[in-house]
Structure 1
């Protein structure tokens, strides 16, 4: 066999570009896995108290607050608090773990120890309790009777001498103390006030 025939049977080495395309074509799953992992990492979000509070305030179409469905938790704070959640593509709420949010002001706290002591001190809950304690129920209001139903107010006619004394004191006060910006410090005002107390003590006690 001559040298020309030998050269015809030697295969030519493949180029680097051909090797690269071959290797990439032989492992299509690796590129798919990379794309999936990158998209999954971009869709996840690291939630903080501030982020959740902002979402609940300004993105109500995608963020809601779920009631605490645990019947064992009878603490009063759960009337105002719940668990923040984000709606998935199907509109189903997905609870955001380790956080609780106020249903009124959307203030959000970290919640990992099942302790409700700090929740009971929240301002919205305190205002609700004060409002409920100051508003009487309709049943209590209807059952209460006015004091005037039991006794008629005593009507006392003051003697003319008392009326004359009051007028004299008022005139003296006006003439003597022309200081409208310091009325409570005037001697005339104090004399009138003392006279009123004396008359009330004699006539109504």
Structure 2
């Protein structure tokens, strides 16, 4: 039975013993017949590896520019310092100036205003981050622009937060036939 199985196996294209190559169950064939060293294959004829697979812990220490993450001491701070708390008055001033500079001479158009909402929101968020509040604050900026036809608009929001650290700021702008309302919510992340 074993003889018939061996005779049915397809023979290799290359003979068993080729110059420079050994045969056996634990050897791999090189893709080249000549034994000249190249950039990919070193003098040993084996392909170089970038990673070390010999680590027991599973981490690879073969990386050239590997930098260990910086570990910082715990501060055990549960809230911002008084000088770094979110101050709605400063944020409102920044929001009003951004709304006036972007919407001062604009007329309402759905195409223009849909793009302006995203731009204004990003500018307000970046300017509030530059005010120097704690870096642990996470900001959500919501800008609404609409056409002013002397109608009433009610905007409401709800959130569960810590009243000692979290706060919000709101600013509105109205000129000609458009109005805008900007809200920023600042939540302290422990």
Does TM, normalized by the shorter one, top 0.5? no
* Bigger CA radius of gyration: 1
If each structure's helix is expressed as a fraction of its own residues, which one has the higher value?
Answer: 1
TM score, norm. by length of structure 2: 0.30
TM-score, normalised by the number of residues in structure 1: 0.29
The higher-RCO structure (CA 8 Å, 6+ apart) is 2
Structure (1/2) with the larger strand percentage? 2
